[in-house]
Amino acid sequence: MAILDKNLSLRNRNKMLVGVYEDEDNLMQATQSLVDAGVHVHDVYTPYPVHGLDRIMGIRRSRLARVAFFCGLTGLSLAITMIWYMYVYDWPMNIGNKPERFTPSWIPVMFEATVLCTAFGMGFFFFWRNRMLHGVKNEILDLRQTDDRMIIAVETKEGMDEKSTLDLMKKNGAVELREFHNGVQTTL
């Protein structure tokens, strides 16, 4: 799977049903009822993290930890290679008559390089995977989702009961219902 997640993109999608919410409790209830009704929720956009939403939506555990591990491993190997090349192989140095082979003085460099690569790597892959990397076009369903509104987006499928889905959103406190298709929004 491409690292830049196409699943998160809004381009080349079927018509989206959009519910706008003002309150996070309503949002959670709405999401829960949609999931219970067997509707596939494309995504929920909130201006701040809402605890428990990830569980309701059934989002799998992030693989960022594994990415971090390999970034750290890269940093560690980089540091060992660098110190070994500079200090042992290319130009052996005698500092304070310490041995050239692996010594405790290598550890801070190894530690720092590991931490540096882990931090940068995690930042980079997090933004890349979430389509927030510099240069990736912003795809925002509704500008207010970055301010004070929360938005549920449901992608329509063949044979889906749009009416009852919209009713479900409305019933759980949606303040606005919209449709989104090919970049055009219509208020319902």
Nearer to other proteins, 23 or 161 (CB): 23
Considering only the stretches 9-17, 51-59, 73-81, 129-137, report the one whose residues sit in contact with other proteins under the rule CB under 8 A. Answer: 51-59
Write down the least CB distance from residue 47 to other proteins, Å.
16
Which are the contacts of 96, defined by CB distance < 8 A and separation ≥ 6?
A: none
Using CB under 8 A, which of the segments 34-42, 60-68, 83-91, 167-175 binds other proteins? 60-68
Q: Backbone phi, then psi, for 143, in 5-degree steps? A: -60, -30
Binding residue (CB under 8 A) for other proteins from 3, 65, 143, 184: 65
Write down the least CB distance from residue 82 to other proteins, Å. Answer: 19
143-172: which residues touch other proteins (CB under 8 A)? none
User: Minimal distance in Å, beta carbon 7 to other proteins?
Assistant: 17
- Between 25 and 161, CB nearer to other proteins: 25
Find, among 33, 19, 59, the residue nearest to 145 by Cα. 19
Question: Which phi and psi angles does 175 have, rounded to 5°?
Answer: -90, -15
Name the residues that contact other proteins, by CB under 8 A.
24-25, 28-29, 50-56, 59-62, 65, 96, 98, 104-105, 107-108
